[in-house]
Structure 1
Amino acid sequence: MSKRPYKAVAFDVFGTLIEIKNSQSPYKKMMKWLKQQGRKPQPNDAATIMSLDGDFETIASYLGYQLPVPLLAEMNDDLQHDLKHMHAFEDSIPTLIELKNLGYKLAICSNAATPYGERAQSILPPLDAYAWSFKVGANKPDPTIYRYFLNQLKCQPNEVLFIGDTQLADVDGPKKLGMSAQIIHRKNGESLLDVLQPFLKK
């Protein structure tokens, strides 16, 4: 048997392993309100939200604002809707289990706000490494977040295959660090197996 080309597979989460039906996007609602208060949107606003480990009030306070009670209640309702309607794609959990059974180390690497990441982690089976932006304090494609799970896996970049649905964060970023990477087109009906097979059979 030939030597395996990879020791580990790393996955993006949302749009790759998990989807949210009809997301209410409460954080976008918060940013819209902040804009109405006269705050100019910043290019790194989304990255800031996903790299802070805290609730809506914590994030708003960090940005220098206090959310009105009715808006906070509405955002929390939206959040509960999203968490309730979050589920793994049909092939995600079976594929992760199969890869584990084949001896691959597995990691997830995701730009996510705290409640979304925590809920997603509870849906998926236990894996070997987790690089959540809100825990690392950095977002893809910052090399810091990739190195975070590489250290947990004790793998070199060239030993890891990265799968995700966003070109910059899930392909360009990992490749720049030396990993192999491939995009998955869930909206076109592509499965994890479709993406993985050509790489893992080399």
Structure 2
Amino acid sequence: MPQDTSRATARAHHPTRREVVASGAAVPIALTLPPGAAPARTAAEKASSSGVPVKFTVNGTSHALSLDPRSTLLDVLREQLDLTGSKKGCDQGQCGACTVLIDGRRVVSCLTLAVMQDGTSITTVEGLAKDGTLHPLQQAFIDHDAFQCGYCTPGQICSAAGLIAEGKARTPEQIRELMSGNICRCGAYPNIVAAIQQAMGQS
């Protein structure tokens, strides 16, 4: 039988899908911008590159910083001011390990933007002791062995200092309720309550 040359010729002129894909991958696709043009940047990227000027006082020392507007107060304290007493626990504001005092009010610093603290006075656990003398809460935590691993302790102490300043807790039940935002995974809660009660008697 004579060979069907028409089909062979058609196949010769129509590349396979594999050949199309292979040849397409070898073709560079160039996206060019007009001369002198630069890629557009988002507002956040512009602010991040320039920084936002912020001034606040931490443990009695004034600081003037240029900050990324997305930086949390916790990260600024730990990474730029080397105040590592405030701990990064859940990073979601649920465990209280990062609690600090802002103008005397207890705040979880992992959910607080540092640029919003311009002009404030911030106290971390490092700033509670005065002239080498422990704060009554710090001493009470030692006296009552109110910690085990110690990771949550700075936040517990700062939160307790804010609680005492608020003056709303009178009973152990009220202390437990108002300290419920600070989690101790070791379960030292009875000792923590006893330490706070001791410090309340000294404040």
Alignment TM-score, normalising by the size of structure 2: 0.25
Higher relative contact order structure (alpha carbons within 8 Å, sequence separation ≥ 6): 1
Judging by fraction of residues, say which structure has more helix: 1
Higher Rg: 2
**Structure 1 length normalisation: TM-score?**
0.25
